[in-house]
């Protein structure tokens, strides 16, 4: 991410840029950190995003499927605020760093799922395997058992599947086999995670 503003460019605030792209602000911050969209910080620490890049991303995006990100983030917040996670035994094993890592991976997973659903003819195997390996690495780093890792993934998988159901219920235009495709994708990530953990075990 750039530290200073480029002369002559037009810049948008976080909320406006996220609204135009129909993505969660956290997703937009991540895109900036990865260099997908030009951004800089004001002296007050606020992010500004290139309007030119926002317009280009609008053309590339799949707005109907991007609603999946919003729905999943909403489901995750409900689970946290409703105390659902606190009641899970495995959740007590997670320190703050692990929880933050799980949130980051959750966002990355939904972003990759949206990309996969938008272009299922492409070979997503390397990205899917890489994501599963990152889940495994986080589990190893935090000293979490395979069982706890699978329970955590299963809960998040349920949130994603519930979000897919919300899209169908709202009659949002999407692939007819959206649920089946999402289920396949999630299972492949889980398999990659288990295989990676098994190699180390």
Task: Convert the pLDDT of each residue in 15-37 to its tens digit.
Answer: 999 888 877 787 788 888 878 89
Share of the chain above pLDDT 90, in %: 25
DSSP-assigned letter for residue 87: T
**The pLDDT of residue 59:** 60
**The pLDDT of residue 14:** 92
Q: What's the whole-model pTM score?
A: 0.61
**The pLDDT of residue 1:** 46
Helix ranges (DSSP H) in the chain: 14-21, 25-34, 51-60, 63-81, 96-118, 125-142, 146-169, 178-200
Q: CATH number of 63-200: 3.40.109, 1.10.490, 1.10.1200, 1.20.120? A: 1.10.490
User: What are the angstrom distances between the C-alpha of 1 and each of 84, 153, 189?
Assistant: 36, 31, 29
Banded pLDDT at 12 (limits 50, 70, 90): very high
Please state the domain extents for the chain.
11-60, 63-200
Determine the Cα–Cα distance for residues 161 and 180; give it in Å rounded to an integer. 10
DSSP-assigned letter for residue 89: G
Contacts of 106 (CB under 8 A, 6+ apart): 72, 76, 156
**Which single residue is written with the structure tokens 């069982």?**
147
Mean pLDDT for the stretch of residues 5-11: 68
Contact 40, 80 (CB under 8 A): no
**The pLDDT of residue 119:** 78
Banded pLDDT at 127 (limits 50, 70, 90): very high
Residue 170 has pLDDT above 60, yes or no: no
pLDDT tens profile 52-98: 999 887 765 554 556 666 667 666 665 555 566 666 777 777 888 88
Determine the Cα–Cα distance for residues 21 and 30; give it in Å rounded to an integer. 14
In CATH terms, is domain 11-60 a member of 3.30.420.40?
Answer: no
* Same topology between domain 11-60 and domain 63-200: no
Mean pLDDT for the stretch of residues 140-158: 87
């Amino acid at each position: 991410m750039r530290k200073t503003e480029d002369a002559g460019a037009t810049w948008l605030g976080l909320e406006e840029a996220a609204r135009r792209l129909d993505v969660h602000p956290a997703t937009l911050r991540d895109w900036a950190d990865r260099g997908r969209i030009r951004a800089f910080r004001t002296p007050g620490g606020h992010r500004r995003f290139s309007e030119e890049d926002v317009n280009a991303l609008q053309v590339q995006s799949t707005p109907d499927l991007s609603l999946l990100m919003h729905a999943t983030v909403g489901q995750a917040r409900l689970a946290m605020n409703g105390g659902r996670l606190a009641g899970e035994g495995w959740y007590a094993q997670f320190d703050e760093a692990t929880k933050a890592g799980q949130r980051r991976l959750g966002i990355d997973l939904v972003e990759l799922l949206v990309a996969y659903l938008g272009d299922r003819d492409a070979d997503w195997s390397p990205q899917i395997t890489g994501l599963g390996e990152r889940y495994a690495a986080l589990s190893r780093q935090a000293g979490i058992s395979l069982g706890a890792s699978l329970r955590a993934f299963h809960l998040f998988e349920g949130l994603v599947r519930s979000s897919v159901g919300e899209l169908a219920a709202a009659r949002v235009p999407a692939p007819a086999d959206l649920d089946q495709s999402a289920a396949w994708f999630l299972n492949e990530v889980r398999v990659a995670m288990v295989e990676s953990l098994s190699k180390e075990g």
